[in-house]
């Protein structure tokens, strides 16, 4: 955790970097978006893989909850896919 003074200095350095080299800052931003997309895709794969086992082992209610979360995750992945490419 940074102190208030360190946080202020960090924000100042970030602001200077953003102004002096916008291309570099854009590349960093793009990498962060790609990373988010990978985590969401990994979560989708894990949910698809665990859905049958969860339904058998934990019951229909747990399987239904997992399926609803999976559908929400797929919708988010589909909706924001252009931003992560």
| pLDDT score recorded for residue 54 | 83
Residue written as token pair 């058998």:
56
Q: Which residues of the chain have pLDDT under 70?
A: 1, 29-36, 81-85
Cβ neighbors of 10 (< 8 A, separation 6 or more) are 2
pLDDT in tens, 55-71: 888 888 988 888 898 88
| pLDDT score recorded for residue 67 | 85
Residues 31, 70, 43, 28: what is their CA dihedral angle, to the nearest 10 degrees? 10
- Conformation bin of residue 78: beta by default, left when phi > 0, alpha when psi is -120 to 50: alpha
Asked if 51 contacts 70 with a C-beta cutoff of 8 angstroms, the reply is yes
SS3 85: coil
């Amino acid at each position: 955790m940074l102190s208030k003074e360190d946080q202020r200095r960090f924000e100042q350095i970030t602001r200077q970097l953003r102004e002096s080299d916008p291309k570099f800052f854009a590349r960093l931003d793009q990498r962060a978006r790609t990373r988010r997309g990978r985590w969401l895709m990994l979560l989708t794969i894990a949910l698809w893989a665990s859905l049958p086992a969860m339904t058998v082992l934990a019951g229909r209610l747990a399987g239904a909850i997992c399926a609803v979360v999976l559908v929400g995750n797929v919708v988010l992945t589909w909706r924001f896919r252009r931003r992560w490419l």
